[in-house]
């Protein structure tokens, strides 16, 4: 998932270097472009433990064992739409989720425990966090990460 395109940049680098398939998560409702308005929406979604409705048909994960899930950090957490996505699937048994994020500075923040609560039976591997000031080096960072983890 991406709002301003940063996470998409990282997702594409991961796709290029692992040969993964890619799917872009989008919410049915479009989020505001103004940062201040977006902050309000994100805060309200978190406070209400919302599950924003996703657009389109969600992918069948049957044939995938490793799933990279990318999103921007919003208020130290994942966007609530990621919880909608994860709770759509009844079980991630036998599958490994690898989170990746972009953020101003927070890193993965407190998003991973949130993901774990919503992805039943999933195994998690250590994720990747890229800050906005590192985005120019995305390809190199991802290359090293993929190599070190043997994805």
**Residues of this chain that bind ligand FMN (CB under 6 A):** 2-7, 35, 38-39, 42, 72-76, 102-106, 132
DSSP for 8-30 reads HHHHHHHHHHH--------BSSP
Shortest separation between residue 123's beta carbon and ligand FMN, angstroms: 25
Shortest separation between residue 3's beta carbon and ligand FMN, angstroms: 3
User: Of 26 and 76, which has the nearer Cβ to ligand FMN?
Assistant: 76
The Cα–Cα gap between 35 and 40 comes to 9
User: Of 89 and 100, which has the nearer Cβ to ligand FMN?
Assistant: 100
DSSP for 71-107 reads EE-BTTB--HHHHHHHHTSS--TT-EEEEEEEESS-T
User: Of 45 and 92, which has the nearer Cβ to ligand FMN?
Assistant: 45
Shortest separation between residue 124's beta carbon and ligand FMN, angstroms: 20
The Cα–Cα gap between 102 and 119 comes to 21
User: Of 22 and 65, which has the nearer Cβ to ligand FMN?
Assistant: 22
């Amino acid at each position: 998932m991406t709002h301003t395109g940063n996470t998409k940049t990282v997702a594409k680098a991961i796709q290029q270097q692992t040969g993964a398939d890619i799917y872009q998560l989008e919410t049915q409702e479009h989020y505001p472009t103004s940062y201040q308005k977006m902050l309000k929406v994100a805060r309200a979604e978190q406070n209400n433990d919302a599950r924003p409705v996703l657009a389109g048909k969600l992918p069948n994960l049957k044939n995938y064992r490793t799933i990279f899930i990318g999103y921007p950090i919003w208020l130290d957490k994942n966007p609530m739409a990621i919880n909608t996505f994860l709770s759509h699937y009844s079980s991630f048994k036998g599958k490994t989720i690898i989170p990746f994020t972009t953020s101003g500075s927070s890193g993965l923040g407190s998003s991973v425990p949130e993901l774990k609560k919503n992805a039943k039976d999933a195994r998690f591997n250590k994720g990747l966090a890229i800050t906005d000031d590192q985005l120019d080096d995305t390809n190199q960072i991802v290359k090293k990460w993929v190599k070190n983890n043997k994805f």
